[in-house]
Amino acid sequence: MHLLKWLYPGMRFKRWLFLFAIGVLLISIGLTIVFNYKYIDGIEEFIFRIAYTTTGTYNYTITNVVGILISLVGLVIMLIAMRMTIRSIITVLLPDNSDKLVDLIYEKRKLDKGPAITVIGGGTGLSVLLRGLKEVTNNVTAVVTVADDGGSSGRLRNEFGIIPPGDLRNCLVALADTEPLMEKLFQYRFEGDSELAGHSFGNLFIAAMTQVTGDVEKALMESSKVLAVRGKVFPASTAKIRLGATMTDGTVVEGESQIPLVHKRIKRVHISPSKVEPVPSAINAIKKADAIILGPGSLYTSIMPNFLVDKVAETVKKSKAIKIYICNVMTQPGETDKYTVSMHVRAIMEHAGIGSVDYVLVNDKPISASLQDFYAQKGQYPVVIDEEAIHDLGVGFVKADLVNETNVIHHDPEKLAHNIMQMVYGLKTDNKWQRKNDIRR
């Protein structure tokens, strides 16, 4: 059965096997011409004699059966020879995975045919989503916010004048197809009282690679090779920006890390400088996407900053891709206190414009009372799904079980990817997206 896996659809093996068989056939015909037909006649006469001696009849059917059996034996020998040739090469290149070669090739071919998905956001929510998407398509691109000014990222940003690497690192690790030890290394955070304390190795690695290559895009490309990343990761901009927020009472707060601390209702966020150029590769990924996913993550500090970069919001609105916003499961203190689903969507539209969201994907799995009590102590509550208000915004919505409920609540990567793929393939009819208001489940 393992041998038959090479004949699975999409392996691109059958065509070369067929070509190989044609070559063998041509060689056979050529040798027959060279050595004369009398040798073939002799073989055929020998088969006839055996058949006549065994059955007492002179039946051409037996000759045909023998010919078919010889052909089948030849085919099996060809398959085994080709398989062993490939194995001999792969054993040198991938000694530990040589037995799984056919499965690796099949998986790679299948994932390469997946839809082009561009994810826009930042924070831990984005990396959770990417972990699921990499299992269903290799054509995934993360466009990541660069407004972080706290922790290790903020320190490196101030010391070296680079964009904050923290969210970029998390996305690279989430898309990585590498050894667990390498992932642990990139996520390792130094402890103690030294100047390295609080820094993660991955942040330092990206910072060093940026200094070596002189360009953050090149640094991310080289880092992707180290981690064997499935997909691509780009910052929304390479400019050093600072995020600020204007509150409903008119006060202005500067700094991404400071915005949630004032615990006031946010009216609008802005960046300084107000005009910054986007990364061309990020814009190109948005243009070529079959689906554009926003979030999950902090609404004002992870998702919105991307739309404030020049051309990002405009490109998203003009795109013919399906645009899905993954709403957070719980409200976030200092950012989305008492926000419903429609309030999240409306905030995105106010910053990015109408046409930036087609559908919203929301969790409808009930949260246990014990967990609600636990989160209530932190000022977090389940986001209410106000269906009619969502409908009034002209946005479709899909409700599904999206969480992995243990001692805390997180989106489940597999559930997210499964539902997104269902939406990408299920909402498309005759190369046109179904009307948004038709989907309300």
- Give all domains of the chain, ordered by start, each with its CATH number: 3-99 (no CATH), 114-146+236-438 (3.40.50.10680)
pLDDT band at 384 (very low <50, low <70, confident <90, very high): very high
Q: Which residues of 350-375 are buried (b: 16+ CB within 10 A; e: fewer)?
A: ebbeeebbbbbbbbebebeeebeeeb
Return the pLDDT at 215.
Answer: 85
Q: How many CB atoms lie within 10 A of CB 191?
A: 9
User: Would you say 2 and 97 are in contact if contact means Cβ atoms under 8 Å apart?
Assistant: no
- Predicted model pTM: 0.76
Q: What span, in angstroms and rounded, lies between the C-alpha atoms of 89 and 318?
A: 47
Task: Quickly state the pLDDT bin for 258 (edges 50, 70, 90).
Answer: very high
Token output for 99: 């037995």
| Angle, CA of 120, 376 and 251, to the nearest 5° | 60
Question: Helix, strand or coil for residue 400?
Answer: strand
Specify the DSSP class assigned to residue 300. I
Locus of tokens 């984005």: 126
Contacts of 393 (CB under 8 A, 6+ apart): 342, 345, 346, 349
Token digits of residue 154? 């903020």
From the number of C-beta atoms within 10 Å of its C-beta (0-12, 13-18, 19+), residue 425 rates as exposed
- Indicate the pLDDT class of residue 237, thresholds 50, 70 and 90: very high
| pLDDT value at 58 more than 60 | no
- The length of the chain in residues reads 441
Q: What angle (nearest 5°) sits at the alpha carbon of residue 386, between those of residues 381 and 387?
A: 145
**The predicted structure's pLDDT at residue 187:** 81
The fraction of the chain above a pLDDT of 70, given in percent, is 77
Q: Has residue 200 got a pLDDT over 50?
A: yes
Q: What is the pLDDT of residues 119-176, one digit of tens each?
A: 999 988 899 999 999 988 989 999 999 887 767 776 777 777 788 888 898 899 899 8
Residue where the block lists tokens 């989305």: 336
Distance between CA atoms of residues 283 and 290, nearest Å? 14
pLDDT higher at 28 or 378: 378
- How far is 440 from 372, CA to CA, in rounded Å? 26
Structure-model confidence comparison of residues 73 and 402, the more confident one: 402
